[in-house]
Amino acid sequence: MSPASENEPGNSSAALAADVDVLDAAAAEALLAESLATNVDEPEPDLPPITTVEVDGVTVHHRDSGHHVSGPTYVLVHGLGGSLANWEPVWPYLARLGRVLTPDLAGFGRTEADAGRSAVGDNVDLLSAYLDVVDARNVVLVGNSMGGMISLLLAAKGHPQLERLVLVDAVVPFGPKVRPNPRVGLTFALYMCPPLARFVVPRYVQRRGTDQMGLDGVLVVVADRRRVPRWVWRRAVEEARALTEIQSAVPSLVRAAQSIVIAGASRSYRRALAEVTVPVTFLQGDADALVPARGVRAALARVPEWNYVEAEGVGHVPMFEAATWTAAVIAGRIRGNITNM
């Protein structure tokens, strides 16, 4: 993307996100309020094309802004059922500060899963190899939902270029206080019976229609649909249509969802929180229906050194509702503390 693209944000919020080192509490609160109020009018960004790169035998589709002169490399990892398109709202802000990379994980977006390798562990390995193949340096690894789980597990294993971790409404270790709403729970219960899920899901998609499924994918992850720019809805439909061309889409989704449940309940995932040695910021929407904030606070009590930032009235994918503010958190401009919540 060219530095002077006419579609780049030019308002005071963009300048604030890019130019201020760390916002004080009042400025951060004002930025969130402004971002929520103006997000629907955010223009569609001018993005580089989606290209491919070979990673351990997998053809990974991704976007790459190209090497930045001095900034970090932001590697943005989408969640279950998502794609690289989920990060498009924050792209212009981060591309001003460094290199931006957004891959489609194996089994999602346009990246076909190789022999059913779409589970969390498979994608941890794929993401680690991807960082090497694309020569990612000074990495700020950012993961949303399942992508947060994958990013956290990669950070726990370690990578020589990883400098900072940002978890956006990430799946945290399950516990008594970490429970989704009943509808989400029933959906994942279905995924835990793969033969049934592979029968039910295609028929549900057929009944709803591809375009409506794309719209539904946005509705389930936001707290207020009125904040979402029109172009984001259009891109969601485009991504849903592209997914219908992937023959392994449903088995990949089921396998990944099942692996989230297994990993989330494991002791090794609980231990992973303590094994991360790089600085961590956890961004959480307090109106998230998929990963409730109450459970996140409980899970993060064991890592009080992490920077915890909570957004009032925001859902599971904050970049859809408050792109400027989300980019500011990712860039390290906003700080918080779980003890204040």
pLDDT tens-digit profile of 66-93? 987 789 999 999 999 999 999 999 999 9
Residue 338 has pLDDT above 50, yes or no: yes
AA letter at 35: S
SS3 call for 251:
helix
**How buried is residue 102: exposed, middle or buried, by Cβ count under 10 Å (0-12/13-18/19+)?**
buried
Pairing mode of beta strands 58-64, 51-55:
antiparallel
pLDDT at 2 over 70: no
Q: Are 84 and 63 in contact (CB under 8 A)?
A: yes
Name the region of 107 (left: φ>0; alpha: ψ -120 to 50; beta: rest). left
Ordered by where they begin, the domains of the chain are: 42-331 (3.40.50.1820)
pLDDT at 341: 41
Q: 């941890």: which residue's tokens?
A: 124
What's this model's pTM, rounded to 2 decimal places?
0.92
The CA–CA distances, whole Å, from 191 to 94, 187, 197, 289 equal 35, 7, 5, 18
Q: How many residues does the chain have?
A: 341
2-11, 111-120, 185-194: range with lowest mean pLDDT = 2-11
Span of 27-31, 192-196, 213-217, 326-330 with lowest mean pLDDT: 192-196
Quote the pLDDT of residue 197: 82
Inform me whether the pLDDT recorded for 191 exceeds 60.
yes
Q: How far apart are CA 254 and CA 176, in angstroms?
A: 24
| 334 closest CA partner among 304, 298, 310 | 310
Question: What confidence score (pLDDT) does residue 180 get?
Answer: 65
How confident is the model at residue 7, as a pLDDT? Answer: 38
Q: Is the pLDDT of residue 206 over 80?
A: yes
- Cα–Cα nearest to 109, from 151, 53, 171, 60: 60
Structure confidence at residue 340 (pLDDT): 42
Summarised one tens digit per residue, pLDDT across range 132-190 is 999 999 999 999 999 999 999 999 999 999 999 999 999 999 876 656 677 777 788 88
Please report the pLDDT score of residue 178 as a whole number: 59
| pLDDT higher than 70, residue 57 | yes
Position 201 confidence tier, pLDDT thresholds 50, 70, 90: confident
Percentage of the chain beyond pLDDT 70 is 91
Average pLDDT over residues 36-57: 97
Q: Which residues pair with 283 in a beta bridge?
A: 168, 309
pLDDT band at 11 (very low <50, low <70, confident <90, very high): very low
Mean pLDDT of the chain: 89
Helices and strands in the chain: count of H runs, count of E runs = 14, 8
Q: What is the pLDDT of residue 12?
A: 42
Q: What region does 199 belong to: left with phi over 0, alpha with psi -120 to 50, or beta?
A: alpha
Tokens for 171?
Answer: 């799946």
- Starting from the edge strand earliest in sequence, which strands make up the sheet with 162-168, in order? 51-55, 58-64, 99-103, 73-77, 139-144, 162-168, 280-285, 307-311
Burial 215-246 (b: 16+ CB within 10 A, else e): bebbebbbbeeebbbeebbebbbebbebbeeb
